[in-house]
Structure 1
């Protein structure tokens, strides 16, 4: 796809997330890698609901602005994912309600915040590790994301929300949607007895589908 087409695709997918309540106000940010190796990222204080393709921030992998509006303050977190996970083509950070609620719960398993309740959670995400709380834009947050990005395509930021990657922006958004739906199901099931996939089931999915 050309840069112009990718700009349009980012805006369309962001608008779709906004309209379905995955992002509100100026919350969240999305980025993708361009064919020339630069990144497009949503500008600071922008809304997923009314992005302008021409004013998206274009930055280098060192964080230097090439064009467009000032980038989201979370850009170092995005860059960390691209640098430490070479297969990354796009990154989605949301303040989606169910994952953000999950991120505020006590006694989460820091190695995997969600049990394997559906095959598509295992296939698209695998495991969801927890990153301790850092303020938005804190350089330590980017370092923590980078450390986990080597082995994980998604992480949950404590008291903040998820950050999810994919090979392209369509895959990253699909991964984000699947993860939010898994959190919703988990919180609805939590008061009841429920059944998870067995380790044998998980191993089979990892073998057949090469889950993350």
Structure 2
């Protein structure tokens, strides 16, 4: 499957899952020294090749559609770690709701309530609010002081990276579920996985989880 076909299939899956309302969200794949990203205003459920922009690794458009204004987020993730080959940014309802709350801890806005969140996503810090399209969003992500492969953007949504598009989509879906469970259990006596259990899961599944530092 070509990179374009992967983007089209991933967009359809995310819309079917109810995670991309309207024309929100954007996806990208790193293809050698290029980034293929969904174009501005495109609906993830109706993507075609004409909706894909091609950028260089600095985020400069080479060809195709006009790239999403949120391309700095994607560039920031690829600059952060060469292992990342796909990025999913969503305005899904539970992730957006969680991003409007104070974080559970500096290193993760979402608490470790299920093993699957720890295993598949790992700690997910809340990055500072900036208006959509602000280049500083990408720099915040690139230079965040924690190990991470996912983050919540304050009052905005989620962003996750993966080793391929299927990996990134799976993490985006799991993060949305973790945010949903966190919100459903808020303001109630709830049982989190204890630190020893989290450490064991993170080590076994090579998932990022560590004591947090200040974001400042």
TM-score (normalised: structure 1): 0.93
**Structure 2 equivalent of residue 69 of structure 1:** 65
CA–CA distance in 1 between the matches of 2:68 and 2:125?
A: 23
| Residue in 2 that maps onto 1:24 | 21
Going from structure 1 to structure 2, the CA distance change for 1:172 and 1:149 (only over 3 Å counts) comes to farther
Q: Does 1:168 align with 2:180?
A: no
Equivalent residue number for residue 200 of structure 2: 204
Alignment correspondent of 2:120:
124
Q: State the match for 2:130 in structure 1.
A: 134
CA distance in 2: counterparts of 1:142 and 1:191, whole angstroms: 33
2:9 maps to which residue? 12
**Which of 85, 89, 94 is the aligned partner of 2:90?**
94
> Residues 114, 10 of structure 1: CA spacing in aligned structure 2 closer, same or farther, 3 A cutoff?
same
Q: Give the 5 Å matches for 1:140-179.
A: 140-148=136-144, 151-179=147-175
Verify the 8 A CA contact 1:81 1:149 in the aligned structure 2: no
> For structure 1, which runs of at least 5 residues remain unmatched after alignment?
none
Does the aligned pair in 1 maintain the 2:50–2:65 contact within 8 Å?
Answer: no
Which shifted more, 93-102 or 138-147? 138-147
Which of 100, 103, 110 aligns to 2:106? It is 110
Q: Is the 8 A contact 1:76 1:139 kept in 2?
A: yes
Following the alignment from structure 2 to structure 1, what is the Cα–Cα distance between the partners of residues 40 and 67? 5
Q: TM-score, length-normalised on structure 2?
A: 0.91
1:51-75 CA-partner distances (Å, limit 9, x unpaired): 1024311111122222210100111
- Unaligned stretches of 5+ residues in structure 2: 209-216
Displaced runs of 4+ in structure 1, greater than 4 A? none
1:91-138 alpha-carbon deviations (Å, 9 max, x no partner): 110000001001112465332111111111111221111111000111
Cα 1:207–1:106 change in 2 (3 A) is closer
Q: How many residues align?
A: 208
CA contact (8 A) 1:27 1:47 kept: yes
Deviations 1:139-160 (A, max 9, x none): 2111111112872111110000
Residue equivalent to 2:77: 81
